[in-house]
Amino acid sequence: MIIWILFAVVSAATTGVLMHPLSSIRARHSNVGVDAHVYRDQLHELERELATQQIGANEYELANAETARRLFKSMDLPRTPSGPQRSHRRVRLAVAAMLPLISIGVYASLGSPELESRPLQARLDDPGEDLAILVKKTQDHLVSSPQDGRGWDLLAPVLLKMSRADDAVEAYRSALRILGPSVPRLGGLSEALMARSNGLVGEDVLLALNNLLQIDPANVRARFYIALSMEQARRPDEARQAFEALAKQSPADAPWLPLVNQHIAVNGGAPAGAGSAASGANPAASGANPAASGANPAPGNPTQQDVTAAETMNAGDRQQMIRGMVESLDAKLSEDPNNFEGWMRLVRSYAVLNDKDRASGALKRGLAAFPPPGEQGRQLLALARELGIAPEGATQ
């Protein structure tokens, strides 16, 4: 019953809003006679003032002409309002009758009148597949049971995936405090901390990564981000050595090798090898087995000839060669934008070259080809947060 009362109130309010302009037209017509009467009185008053010499002849002529002009203008409105009034009356009746019928018909076809309302508590009791409600229930449980390490461990990666970096950091720290260190927990904590700092590898991130390396000394992701922290701190020699060490210990077909080579080149070194099957993947995905290499290098990756040539170049020429490769990849993506891994590689390449404007533009174009509602679009946005860049004119 309440919903029908709401329907009646909303319909009445909407009808009144739509009918007001139609009613105001009649009101304007009714004011014509009043205006004309006022201007005629002003003309008589001017004549009396002239006769009594209260105003001069010149002043009288000017005031008389202006008042007459206003009188003629007021009388220039339609003199026969009966026709328009009948037309507006029909429109008002049509609006008053059809608007409620149309709204009820649309609701009956698209809505669910028989569906009962579900208050918040009912939705919390039966969340179904509503992720937000499931997270809310888990958080309520952890408020009453803060020592449930398993709960924190399950909640933390979900919060990180929902881009709630601050909450994810607290959840990971609680899980680490209760359950102890592990590679997934320390890796997740470092990722959440970097998301919170827009991709900067700070002291708290380094602490988590170093603790991770104590458990898994060969962890590619941790070693990559530690090397990246040196690059961000403007220590190119140390960064290059760290990236070179990572490249030497990586398989020839490792998907992260082209990205490592880019960082080596940016820091003044020569690429360690040709990443023939590189996808530009983030070393954070290194938990998977390396992909098998293809016959041809992916667009924008260095060939063996590029590597050989780079070894004989000085730092300036090598940097120019790398920029040319990145611009070549940019041109290929402009011709064929349906290449998700290419966009990931291009955005990261411009960021590594410290060209944030082009990185932002590439991110915007990549999001146009792979919108954020999809998984690939979300990965592009995650990469943007990691690198501390934002798309021009796009919403994250």
User: pLDDT value at position 289?
Assistant: 34
- Per-residue pLDDT band for 295 (boundaries 50, 70, 90) equals very low
Residue percentage of the chain with pLDDT more than 70: 63
What mean pLDDT comes out for the span 216-231?
90
User: pLDDT value at position 133?
Assistant: 75
User: pLDDT value at position 207?
Assistant: 94
SS3 301: coil
User: pLDDT value at position 63?
Assistant: 76
The number of CA neighbours under 13 Å toward the Cβ of 263 is: 31
8-34: per-residue pLDDT in tens?
Answer: 777 777 766 666 665 555 544 445 555
- Per-residue pLDDT band for 54 (boundaries 50, 70, 90) equals confident
**With 90 as the cut, is the pLDDT of residue 179 above it?**
yes
CA distance 206 to 186: 11
Q: What is the mean pLDDT of the chain?
A: 74
SS3 145: coil
311-337: per-residue pLDDT in tens?
Answer: 555 555 556 667 777 888 888 898 889
- Nearest CA-CA partner of 45 in 36, 35, 33, 54: 54
- As assigned by CATH, the class of the 128-217 domain is mainly alpha
Q: What is the largest CA-CA distance in the chain?
A: 112
What mean pLDDT comes out for the span 200-210?
91
Residue percentage of the chain with pLDDT more than 90: 15
What mean pLDDT comes out for the span 235-256?
87
Q: Quick one: tokens of 246?
A: 């990572």
Q: What is the pTM of this model?
A: 0.45
CA distance 158 to 260: 29
